[in-house]
Structure 1
Amino acid sequence: MNSDKIQHADITISAVSPSQYPDDGLTEIVLAGRSNVGKSTFINTMVNRKKLARTSGKPGKTRTLNFFNIENELFFVDVPGYGYAKVSNAEQNKWGRMMTDYFATREELALGILLVDFRHEPTDLDIQMYDLYKYYDIPVLIVATKADKIKKSKYNKHSSIIRKTLEIEPGDKLFTFSSMTREGRKEIWDEILTYVGDERE
């Protein structure tokens, strides 16, 4: 798969229960992060599209597991963003059950990506998300978004804050990313594809 020349990318289904998950058998890469961390923008940048994943002025709008088919080789699975105060506790609990059902049972799930805002210290909910990946023994890739807002001279400081706050385990990689400059896109794709395999190339 050539990540620079992605021809096919579309949303296959928005699922709320395991019976609705795709049965293609493709590798799945799950994406989680706070409601305003830039998940939709990340997806659009990674697949060279402007509007594949809808960016919304209303954080917390994703309420399903959205499966995006990329080149008929893998799925990006966008899960509901967390930490949006206007969503009721009952609704957030429902999302939580939906996500943990998916994490616990989905054999196709190969990698979890945790998106955090490079500008800020990870929140308690970010820590919980990282720990949830670990609990279900899902390999984790941390992507620090909005890197263009930080001076290069401050990168090490912000990276170390993220590593320390999340207590990132050895072997878990942290990438900086910017949708504006496309920084990190190729490196993140290279890492993702190690979980997909290249047997179809």
Structure 2
Amino acid sequence: MNTNEKVFEVRTNRLGRFELYQNGKLVQKVCRTCGKVKLASEFLRYTQGHYRPDCHECFNKWQRKYIQENRDLRTVYRQRNRAREVGAPDNYNLEDYLELKAFANGRCMISGKKTDNLQVEHVQTLSKRVLGSTKGNIILVCEEVNQAKRDMSLFEFLQSERSRGLVDREQLERTIRYLADANGMTPQEYLDFLYRAEELAKDIKEFFENENKAN
């Protein structure tokens, strides 16, 4: 047998996909994800040395998606834990958050500013222990709005000097409509709901203050 002769062999891997070998060395294989035949050099290797089932391009896409999804999930868990710590409702979930991100589309939900650094903010602050981390009480805002609003409810923020130059009326109206619709309300019903939540928060605060004085 000529030692320089190229001997090709087609094998089937454990996933049932074909692999092409030349003189015992893998030269081509089918990507598990995209289904395309690619050179072996287009596949990453495990630390043990054998090739991954997905090509480099598909693996990178999967990795980016995995990192983003887990980042989103951590964000949701963090907001739920914050609400739980103060005894407020904490039923926000990943689907709610992904819908919110899709609506915001990279824009602050109060100022309308386009940014890559949207931050989670509560319409009514968690410290008031009424609305908590729920679908009607979480929005995404830019850093400037987040820092200015701080411990204020949305109503308090809009009436304060801190909101000067940070509120886009059209964007705010879109946000109110979105939050209302997400909770099966009209915009006016949602605003009335927020107002009642503020009144309830005041009653709760007064109750605990009176309890402390009595003790």
TM class, shorter-chain normalised? under 0.3
Give the number of the structure whose residues are more often helix, by fraction.
2
Larger Rg: 2
TM-score by length of 1: 0.27
TM-score by length of 2: 0.26
Higher RCO (CA-CA < 8 Å; seq separation 6+)? 1
Give the number of the structure whose residues are more often strand, by fraction.
1
